Structure 1
Amino acid sequence: MMSLSHLTVILLSLLIFRVNANYFATNTEKDDQCFCKLKGSIDDCSCSVDTVDHFNNVKIYPRLRSLLVKDYFRFYKVNLKQECPFWSDDSRCAIRYCHVQPCQDEDIPPGLKGDVSRHTLYDKNPADKYKATRQGDNCGSDYRDHNEDLGYLNTTISVKNYEEFQMWQRHDDAVDNFCVSETSPGEYVDLLPNPERYTGYKGPSAHRIWRSIYMENCFGPEQPTRKFIESFKMEGMCLEKRVFYRVISGLHSSINIHLCAKYLLSEKDSLEVVSVGGEWGPNLSELRRRFSPESTEGNGPLWLKNLYFIYLLELRALAKAAPYLQRGEYYTGNDEDDQDTRLAVNDFLNIVKSFPVHFNESVMFNGGSEAKVLKEEFRQHFRNISRIMDCVGCDKCKLWGKLQIHGLGTALKILFSGRFDQWESTLDDINKKQFYLERSEIVALINAFGRLSDSVFQLEIFRRMMR
């Protein structure tokens, strides 16, 4: 006869087997319980997660993949040598995967080599401003943003009127921008050979970046604790402050998903002994560590929902700016490629506009002088975050951090500057204050949204792995 202890062991074994089998099962009940299988509405938006998943994975993601390899969007000008304004940079990453591969001069499209800033004043005919003149012989030269595609001017105006126009533009930029302008134009980086992925940059330096972003810039308690990020609660906060926290949290979640999806796979303890090429791939256990309820005090799924929130916010910015962006020439000097890029942009933006429910920015910053103060505080907080990006100790992390903050700042500029609310072309009227985006802003905007789209797509891949 079987003893009671033996029977207990058998029953426990069966229970463990049943639990484990159920965990990896493909039935709908267990699938819905997966921490990254999000359901329901997205807070502060009248849209569901399932709607975004289908729209992104079927319509948006495939188009962005083909669009972002176009020359106009793959070359991004950035200054990676700007000093950190908040603390001495004593923790530079020495791992080879932190480095950014420099671009080669022959790889840069000819139309980007002679671009000139709209802020340069000429003492001759303003039309000369748009003649491409080469200013250097290598990709690190002091190139400017090319605005021939968006810089419409009546060339019969006087130099004095042209200078006044430039003064208007500088003032308007200072008022509207959510990101701090860099002290120098920097140099072009080809984004394709420098993908965003796990580099090994971690520890106190990396934690200090996010801690500074959350503790010093989010609208939280006056004296935040060390557990501020994990225990942050939004009860009682106004919509504007909730939006600010959610976009930062959503960006943080998106970046973490990228690192988990392209994780450096190695059994070695030191990244420096890995073969030169390295091997990157999805790391499911790392995703669980960063987002599962058990390891995040129940907050992981909420952080993932914030990814969908920032996705809808940037989607709305693209839809709002679509009439303007669809007029661009996206000039690189290659006529055939430029035509393909214009067609791809128009197709992508038409799909963006077709989405039935967008983020509603019109309900924010209403209420007189108090709302204006809050809006300026909102803008200054975000400008401060753009400064913190110069403190990142890993060049590749800095590159993608600056690009995504720049793109998000451009989206906020589109949503809250008021310039796109009733946008119309100023092609035939130079007396109108013209508002347009720098090429770098357009490149950052589309690439930043591409990163969010990729995160939503990668979540679906991780769900399939869990099944």
Structure 2
Amino acid sequence: MSRCDLRWLLLSLLGAAGLRPGAAAGQPLPGSAEQRCFCQVTGYLDDCTCDVETIDTFNNNKLFPRLNKLLESDYFRHYKVNLKKPCPLWNDSSHCGIRDCAVKPCASDEVPGGAESASYKYSEEASKHDGECEEAKRLGAVNESLSEETQRAMLQWTQHEDSSDNFCEADDIQSPDAEYVDLLLNPERYTGYKGPEAWKIWNSIYEENCFKPRTIERPLNPLASGRGDDDGNSFYSWLEGLCVEKRAFYKLISGLHASINVHLSARYLLQDTWSGTKWGHNITEFQHRFDEVLTQGEGPKRLKNLYFLYLIELRAMSKVLPFFERPGFQLFTGNENRDREIKNQLLEILHLTKSFPLHFDENSFFAGNKKEAAKLKEEFRLHFRNISRIMDCVGCLKCRLWGKLQTQGLGTALKILFSQKLIENMPESGPSYGFQLTRQEIVSFFNAFGRISTSVKELENFKNLLRNVQ
């Protein structure tokens, strides 16, 4: 029995006894921090023939550097989004609005004095403090500024867009409220959006949109009144009893949630003083979200679901190559030479994804009785569309921006996987009427996978940082 298995056995026995290792003040946690977060995140993934180590090597050494460079180009760094759509599911009462207080950057004289502290952070009761509300404005503000040259190019880009959307609630990009946002000027990072309002979003996703009955509670839900002491065993026993499609749906959402949490932990506000701000890796925050002891065993499961999400989006990247290989397709920005260069970079990346040795087999999805499979596929699609609508309820504008983009990107990946025959039958030249991707779908798809790829790379960084932490 490995040391990882022994630690997990200890954790399970203590959990069954109603005890939590390290709960008492000053009591050390078993093993090192690196082992508690990562010892289970190894080997083969459930429902897949791929292992974590193969993904790490392929992503970190081959794919991540190339993809990161591509996403810095004009075509992929600008995303049109309507951040002013009202929440369609409930009255928005998030702290500060947050939607209202984060629309514009605060002037320097509006930043609260408390933000000058090097260790300044939010509490979950931030909604009660005006100073923290102002700080949320400053941290969460979306930078919508574009150069004049880019604005002129935007007018031409609209000529190259089609309308087609299957898995996501379409964003009305023709609305006067829709604006182009430079993603490089608005990196996904910690903004202080946390606590009950943020959990309300995830609760709605998990409790209402993951094919689960209300009687089965997701573990570690801080808003639930009675979480129980079974460390989520009843939840995961129920999950394993589902069909592969419904199990995959949960893993995709959990993987997306984990990926976002990795980003927030990797780009955390570490210092905020008069001399400037410093963003970087917050080891404590990462442990809080993924340590097997601190999360009652759920953290490593979240990380393995992140790898499952990676495989799904990687498979979509490999399947969509024929769409971009067509001679008539161009990533149009108005600079013909630059567009040709970027397309070549894109095709190199897509060919690289096809070389991955252990791709996920999407043929295992919806492979049973045709009538039942079609019904399940439609349920799958509607559940995901509803999740895309929930993104308009996110209070923090920057969180909403990246939530909408990553949800649309995953929806586009699913659209690609479920359109295999249409992609195979596309004409080599001329318009493709059976399968289309809009510019919004293309930009969100590649940036969403860029976020997942970044997460896998950041896990390597956190593993090194945690190596000597207890």
Do they superpose with TM above 0.5? yes
Q: CA deviation at 1:36?
A: 2.3
Residue of structure 1 in register with 2:118 after alignment: none
SS in 2 for 1:264: strand
Task: Summarize the alignment of residues 396-407 of structure 1 with structure 2, pairs less than 5 Å apart.
Answer: 396-407=398-409
2:422 paired with 1:390? no
Q: CA deviation at 1:310?
A: 0.4
Task: Summarize the alignment of residues 107-146 of structure 1 with structure 2, pairs less than 5 Å apart.
Answer: 107-108=149-150, 110-116=152-158, 146=160
Counterpart selection for 1:202 from 177, 194, 209: 194
Change (3 A) 1:189 1:301: same
Does the 8 A contact of 2:323 with 2:423 survive in 1?
no
Residue of structure 2 in register with 1:98 after alignment: 140
Task: Summarize the alignment of residues 327-346 of structure 1 with structure 2, pairs less than 5 Å apart.
Answer: 327=326, 328-346=329-347
- Structure 2: gaps spanning 5 or more residues: 1-27, 102-135, 222-230
Q: Which one-letter code corresponds to 1:351 in the other structure?
A: L
Q: Which one-letter code corresponds to 2:434 in the other structure?
A: Q
Q: CA deviation at 1:400?
A: 0.3
Residue of structure 2 in register with 1:450 after alignment: 450
Does the 8 A contact of 1:320 with 1:420 survive in 2?
no
2:53 paired with 1:50? yes
Deviations 1:233-266 (A, max 9, x none): 1121100001100000000000000000001114
Q: CA deviation at 1:421?
A: 5.3
Q: Which one-letter code corresponds to 2:436 in the other structure?
A: Y
RMSD over aligned Cα atoms: 2.3
Q: CA deviation at 1:65?
A: 1.3
Task: Summarize the alignment of residues 59-98 of structure 1 with structure 2, pairs less than 5 Å apart.
Answer: 59-91=62-94, 92-93=97-98, 94=101, 95=136, 96-98=138-140
Higher CA-based Rg: 1
Question: What is the identity percentage for the equivalent residue pairs of Structure 1 and Structure 2?
Answer: 50
Q: Which one-letter code corresponds to 1:333 in the other structure?
A: G
Q: CA deviation at 1:276?
A: 8.7
Change (3 A) 1:213 1:107: farther
Q: Which one-letter code corresponds to 2:251 in the other structure?
A: R
Q: CA deviation at 1:106?
A: 0.9
2:311 paired with 1:321? no
Task: Summarize the alignment of residues 277-356 of structure 1 with structure 2, pairs less than 5 Å apart.
Answer: 277-327=276-326, 328-356=329-357
Residue of structure 2 in register with 1:157 after alignment: none
Change (3 A) 1:364 1:22: closer
Q: CA deviation at 1:196?
A: 0.2
Q: CA deviation at 1:436?
A: 1.1
Residue of structure 1 in register with 2:439 after alignment: 439
Q: CA deviation at 1:218?
A: 0.4
Does the 8 A contact of 1:265 with 1:280 survive in 2?
yes
Moved over 3 A (4+): 19-24, 222-230, 273-277, 417-421
Task: Summarize the alignment of residues 31-50 of structure 1 with structure 2, pairs less than 5 Å apart.
Answer: 33-37=35-39, 38-50=41-53
Please give the TM-score of this superposition, normalised by the length of structure 1.
0.77
Residue of structure 2 in register with 1:181 after alignment: 170
2:377 paired with 1:372? no
SS in 2 for 1:199: coil
Change (3 A) 1:349 1:397: same
Change (3 A) 1:459 1:107: farther
Aligned residues between the structures: 381
- Structure 1: gaps spanning 5 or more residues: 1-18, 25-30, 117-129, 131-145, 152-169, 267-272
Does the 8 A contact of 1:260 with 1:287 survive in 2?
yes
Q: CA deviation at 1:339?
A: 2.1
Does the 8 A contact of 1:246 with 1:309 survive in 2?
yes
Does the 8 A contact of 1:317 with 1:414 survive in 2?
yes
> How many angstroms apart in 1 are the aligned matches of 2:347 and 2:436?
18
Identify which range, 247-256 or 364-373, moves more after superposition. Answer: 364-373
Task: Summarize the alignment of residues 402-441 of structure 1 with structure 2, pairs less than 5 Å apart.
Answer: 402-420=404-422, 422-425=424-427, 427-428=429-430, 433-441=433-441
> How many angstroms apart in 2 are the aligned matches of 1:357 and 1:226?
31
> How many angstroms apart in 1 are the aligned matches of 2:392 and 2:192?
18
Residue of structure 1 in register with 2:4 after alignment: none
Q: CA deviation at 1:359?
A: 1.3
Residue of structure 2 in register with 1:462 after alignment: 462
> How many angstroms apart in 1 are the aligned matches of 2:38 and 2:152?
44
